Amino acid sequence: MGRPITETDRRAVRRHHAAGMSRNAIAKKIGRSASTVSKIASSFEPPLSFDRAAEVATATAVRKADLDQRRTEMAHRLHDVAERELGKMTERTLYWEWGGKDHTYAQKEQPEPTPADRRTMMATAGAALDRSLKLLPPKQDPGTEGRSVVGELMAGLARDYVARHGGPPPDADDDQAAADGQ
């Protein structure tokens, strides 16, 4: 059986709780178990609570926001890598080597990298873009946005036609039939 709870323990728990310490921190500070601190806290009227759900929720939200920011920054950096690699594909490239028994140095400049090097650059750029898009997917398909703009334009023209002519615009088939003389 553990040692009995003293009035000193009760005062210490109340004082540390008022200072905002957690149950485990109080237990460590006064040299008692966390369950003993909980027992002491529940003996007060009203009982002392160590419920920190609101604090935990706030801390979790802040942590998620920080991770979102870091993920966004990483996605931008990966896009930069991809652009840099794609830019190298058409730049002049210096190739060099050490060789021979005399360890001679030779270099050659070419207008573009070799096909093998270009393939490597393309793979690097593709991997960087792929990871970037996984970290930060596009918010909306650009084609969808373009279609919605055209749709809104057509709807606006139809409303304007109704306002001017008092009825819906004729169908394209009706226009073609009138042009054919039917």
Give the tens place of pLDDT for each residue, 74-112. 999 999 999 999 999 999 999 999 888 888 999 999 999
> Whole-number mean pLDDT of the chain?
85
Supply the pLDDT for residue 180.
57
Supply the pLDDT for residue 179.
55
Would you mind telling me the total number of residues written for the chain in this entry?
A: 182
Q: Higher confidence at residue 39 or residue 163? A: 39
Residue 81 burial by Cβ neighbours in a 10 Å radius (0-12, 13-18, 19+):
middle
pTM beyond cutoff 0.75: no
pLDDT for residue 53 is more than 80: no
Distance CA 31, CA 12 (A): 11
- The answer to whether 107 and 96 have CB atoms below 8 angstroms apart is yes
Are 46 and 13 in the same domain? yes
Q: Tokens at residue 127, please? A: 């991997």
* Residue 63: inside a domain: no
pLDDT for residue 182 is more than 70: no
- The answer to whether 63 and 56 have CB atoms below 8 angstroms apart is no
Supply the pLDDT for residue 120.
94
Distance CA 168, CA 159 (A): 8
Supply the pLDDT for residue 176.
55
End-to-end CA distance of the chain: 106
Looking up tokens 């979790």 gives 60
40 CB neighbour count, 10 Å cutoff: 25
* Residue 61: inside a domain: no
Distance CA 43, CA 40 (A): 5
* Residue 35: inside a domain: yes
The structural domain count of the chain equals 3
DSSP 139: S
pLDDT for residue 50 is more than 90: no
For range 27-34, the mean pLDDT: 94
* Residue 180: inside a domain: no
Are 131 and 77 in the same domain? yes
Domain of 167 in residue numbering reads as 142-175
* Residue 74: inside a domain: yes
* Residue 87: inside a domain: yes
